[in-house]
A and B are shown apart, each in its own frame.
Chain A
Amino acid sequence: MPAAGIDDAALAAATLRRQAWDRRLTHLWLILGVLVFAFPVWITLVGSTHDASTIGRGDVPLLPGGQAIANYTAAWTSGGEGRYRASPASLMLWNSALMALLIAVGKITISLLSAYAVVFFQFPGRMLAFWTIFLTLMLPVEVRIIPTYQVIVSLDLFNSMAGLTIPLIASATATLLFRQFFLTIPDEYVEAAKIDGAGPVRFFRDILLPLSVTNIAALFVILFIYGWNQYLWPLLVVNDRGLETIVVGLAKMIGNGDAQNEWNIIMAMAVLALLPPVLVVVVMQRWFIKGLTETEK
C-alpha cells in the first residue's frame, strides 16, 4: 500500500516519467553505439566520393562530394593509377567471390558427409576418425602454414584456385556443428526411414538434408565471410595478379610512405569489397530466419 496522502494518479504519472527517462537513456546509448560502429563506414563512403587531392590535403570530409562515378568507375575497371597498380575491382571481386563460395560449399559438403558417417554408422575406427577431425581444431591454417605451403607447392597447386581453397576447406568446426545437430535427430526418424525402405543415400537426401537446411544456411553465411576475409594464405600462395583477391589487393594498394595513396580509389574499392558479404548476409538471413520461425519438430 502506498503511504497515505500519495494518490494513485500521482504514482502513475511518476511511473510514466520514469519510463520516459528510461527510454531516452536507452536510446541515447544505442545511438552512441551506432555512431561508433557506423562512423568509419560513413567516412569510407564519403571518402569514395571526393577527388584524390581533397583527401590528400589531409581534410576528412564529412559530406559526400561529386566524384563518386569517376572513382567507382576507376576502381571497377582499372584499380587506379597509384604507385601500386592494383588489378581492377571486377577481377578481384570475382576471385574473392569464387574463393569464398568454394570454401563455404566445400566445407559444408565435407562436414555434412563426415558428420553423417560419424553419427549414423558403426564402423571400425569411428571414434578414431572423430577424434582426428576434432584434433585439427587446434591446427588452424596459420599454425600449419609452412607445411601446408610445402604440400601445395609439391602438388603443383601454387598459383591456382585449387591451391587457394583446398587447404582452407579442411576444417573441423563445421563437422562438429553438424555432428551435434545430427545427434539431436530422434532415432525414430532413422527407424521409420528404414521401415519405409530408405537406404543411407535416400535418408541423407530426403530427410537429413531438409532437416539441416537452417543449419546449412547459417553456416554458409559464417563460412562465406570467413573465406572472403582470408588474407594471409592468399597472400602467400598466389602471386599471379589474375588470381588476386580483393582483401589482398586492397591491402597492397595502401603504400607505406614515399608516394601518395589514392585514397579516393582505395575507399571506393573498400566499399565494393564490403558489398558481397553484406549481400550474402541479407539474402541468407531472410532464409534462415524463415527456417527458425517455422522451426520443425
Chain B
Amino acid sequence: MATLDVAGVTKSFGTTQVLHGVDLTVADGEMIVIVGASGCGKSTLLRIVAGLETATTGRISIAGRDVTGLEPADRDIAMVFQNYALYPHMTVGQNMAYGLRIRGLPKPEIAQRVTEAATLLGIESLLDRRPRQLSGGQRQRVAMGRAIVREPKLFLFDEPLSNLDAKLRVQMRAEIRRLQRRLGVTSLFVTHDQTEAMTLGDRLVVMHAGHAAQVATPMEVWARPADTYVAGFIGSPAMNFLAGTLADAGQAVALAAGPVLRFADGPRPGPEGLPLTIGIRPEHIEAGASGLTLPLDLVEPLGSETVLHGRLPNGEALTVKLAGPAPAGPAIQVTLPAAALHVFDAASGKRLDR
C-alpha cells in the first residue's frame, strides 16, 4: 500500500526558481503522468521525489512516511532513466540483480526474482548478454526489469520511451501500462508527449513553468482544461483561441470576429464587456453552407481527415479538422457549435464556468 504525497515543493537552482510550489497526492496503485513543455520542471520534480535532488522547501511522503531527508536508497523507489543507465560492464542479469545484491538478499532469492521479472518481460534469453548487445527496445525492457525486481513502493519513469522509434514506442507504452496495472505499483511517469500522457495516465499533471496547471484525468483535462495553457497544450492540432467579450448578461459572448454565441451551459459570472478568450477544438468546428467565411491558406490532407488552416476576416487564425477529403475552393463557411466552446477569462487565462 503505497501512496505518494508531494506537499508545497519548491526548488531553486541558485537564484532561478524552477518549481513554484507543487502539491500532488497519488493514490495507491495509481499511474500519474507528468506532462509539460521542455524545461517546465518535470524532471526536477521527479528527481526530488526520487531523492536525487533536494527540495528547497516542501515535503515528500511515501506510504505515509516522511522521506524528505532520506537518501534515494532508503526511499524504496525504483527509477527508469531516459537513456536506461544500464551498467555497461555487467550482464543483463547482473544489472537486474545489483540492487538486490547490495541489499544483501540471499543468492537464491535474487536469482528467483530476476528470473521472474525476466519472464514477465520476455527477456529470459538475454540474461547473459551485455547491454551493448541489445536493441533499444530490449534495453528498455531490461531497465524496466531492474526496476521491477526491487519490488519498490514507487516507480519513477523519466521519459523512458523517448529514445525509441515511433512504432516501438507505441508498443512499449502499452506494455508499460499493462505491467503497471498488473503489478499495481504506484507510478510517476514524465513525458512531453501528449499522446503518451493521455494513454498512460490514470491522471495527468500538466506542468507549466514550475506550477501544476491542472491535475485531473486525461478526459477531464481534454474536456475541461483549467486554463488556456492546458487547453492549448493538450489536443492535436491545438485548440483555437478567439477573442471576445461577455455579453447579454453573461449569457453569450460577442466574438471579435463578429458573431454573438449563446453559451449552451448557462451564464458566466462577470460584468458585461469582460474580455474573454474563447477556445474551440479544430475537430468541433463544423463546415456548412452558411456561417463565418474562412479563407484557407493551408490544407493538410491526412487520409481519413483533413486539417485546414485559415484566417478569419478580422485576422484571427483558425484551424479546422474535417472528416473526409478536403473541400474544393479557396474558402469555406464554418459555424462554431455552442456546446463545444471553452470560456476563459482573457486576463488570467483561467477557465470560467457557470
Is A196 a contact of B83 with CB atoms below 8 Å? no
| Known interface pairs A194-B52, A194-B71; A188-B83 also in contact (CB < 8 Å) | yes
Chain A 209-245 near chain B by CB (<8 Å), digits 1 or 0? 0110000000000000000000000000000000000
Return B268 CB to nearest CB of chain A, in Å.
48
Q: A193 to B270: give the CA distance in the assembly, Å.
A: 56
Q: B166 at interface (Cβ–Cβ under 8 A)?
A: no
Q: A196-B99, A197-B99, A296-B130 are in contact. Are A211 and B73 (CB under 8 A)?
A: no
Q: Does B88 contact A (CB under 8 A)?
A: yes
Measured between beta carbons, the chain A residues less than 8 angstroms from B222 are none
Is B221 engaged at the interface, CB distance under 8 Å to the other chain?
no
A207 to B99, CA, bound (A): 13
Q: Is the CB of B85 within 8 A of A188?
A: yes
Q: Choose among B72, B78, B82, B132 the residue that contacts A297 (Cβ–Cβ < 8 A).
A: B132
Residues of A186-209 whose CB lies within 8 A of B: 186, 188-189, 191-192, 194-198, 202, 206-207
- Docked Cα-Cα span, A191 to B78, in Å, equals 11
List A contacts of B72 (CB < 8 A): 191, 194-195
**In the complex, are the beta carbons of A197 and B102 less than 8 A apart?**
yes
Nearest B residue (CB) for A297? B88
Question: Of residues A194, A197, A206, A210, which shows the largest number of chain B Cβ atoms within 10 Å of its Cβ?
Answer: A197
Closest to A195 in B: B72
Q: Are B88 and A192 in touch, CB under 8 angstroms?
A: no
Mask of B61-97 contacts with A, CB within 8 angstroms, 1/0: 0000000000111000111011111111100000000
- B229 interface residue per 8 A CB criterion: no
Q: Are A191 and B85 in contact (CB under 8 A)?
A: yes
What 0/1 readout, one digit per residue, does chain B (50-66) give for beta carbons within 8 Å of chain A?
A: 11100000000000000
Chain B residues near A206: list those with CB within 8 A. 98
Could you say which residues of chain A place their CB within 8 Å of the CB of B73?
Answer: 194-198
Classify the interface of chain A: helix, strand, loop or mixed. helix
Residues in B with CB closer than 8 Å to A194 are: 51-52, 71-73
Check B81 against A188 for contact (C-beta < 8 Å).
Answer: yes
**Which A residues touch B79, using CB under 8 A?**
191-192, 195
Minimum Cβ distance to chain B for residue A45 (Å) = 42
The answer to whether A207 and B78 touch (CB under 8 A), given A194-B72, A195-B99, A202-B102, is no
Least CB distance from A183 to B in Å reads: 17
Q: How large is the interface on A (under 10, 10 to 19, 20 to 34, 35 or more residues)?
A: 10 to 19
| Complex: A197 Cα to B51 Cα, angstroms | 12
Bound: A192/B50 CA distance, A:
11
Check A196/B89 contact, CB under 8 A, given A191-B52, A296-B132, A297-B132.
no
Which residue in chain B gives the minimum CB-CB distance to A192? Answer: B85
Chain B residues lying within 8 Å of A296, measured Cβ to Cβ, are 88-89, 130, 132
Q: In the complex, are the beta carbons of A211 and B89 less than 8 A apart?
A: yes
- The complex places the Cα of A194 from the Cα of B89 at a distance, in Å, of 17
Residue of A whose beta carbon sits closest to that of B88: A296
Inter-chain contact B71/A192, CB cutoff 8 Å: no
Contact between B78 and A195 (Cβ–Cβ < 8 Å)? yes
Q: How far is the CB of B84 from chain A (nearest CB, A)?
A: 8
Q: A191 vs B87: C-alpha distance in the bound complex, in angstroms?
A: 11
CB atoms of B77 and A195 under 8 A apart: yes
Give the distance in Å from the alpha carbon of A198 to the alpha carbon of B90 in the complex: 15
CB-defined contacts of B71 to chain A, threshold 8 Å: 194
Query: Which of A192, A195, A198, A206 gathers the greatest number of chain B CB atoms within 10 Å?
Result: A195
Q: How far is the CA of A185 from the CA of B81 in the complex (A)?
A: 15
Which residues of chain B are within 8 angstroms of A197 by Cβ–Cβ distance?
A: 73, 99, 102-103
**Cα separation A196 to B98 with both chains bound (whole Å):** 7
Mask, A1-16, CB within 8 Å of B = 1, is 0000000000000000
Minimum CB–CB distance from A240 to chain B (whole Å) comes to 45
**Closest 3 A-B residue pairs measured CB to CB?**
A188-B85, A296-B88, A197-B73
A-B contact pairs, 16 of them (CB 8 A): A188-B84, A191-B72, A192-B79, A194-B52, A194-B71, A195-B52, A195-B79, A196-B73, A196-B102, A197-B102, A197-B103, A198-B73, A202-B102, A207-B87, A296-B88, A296-B89
Beyond the given pairs A188-B84, A194-B52, 18 more chain A to chain B contacts, judged by CB atoms under 8 angstroms and listed by A's residue number, are: A191-B72, A191-B81, A192-B81, A195-B50, A195-B79, A195-B99, A196-B73, A196-B98, A196-B99, A197-B73, A198-B102, A206-B98, A207-B89, A210-B89, A211-B88, A211-B89, A296-B88, A296-B89
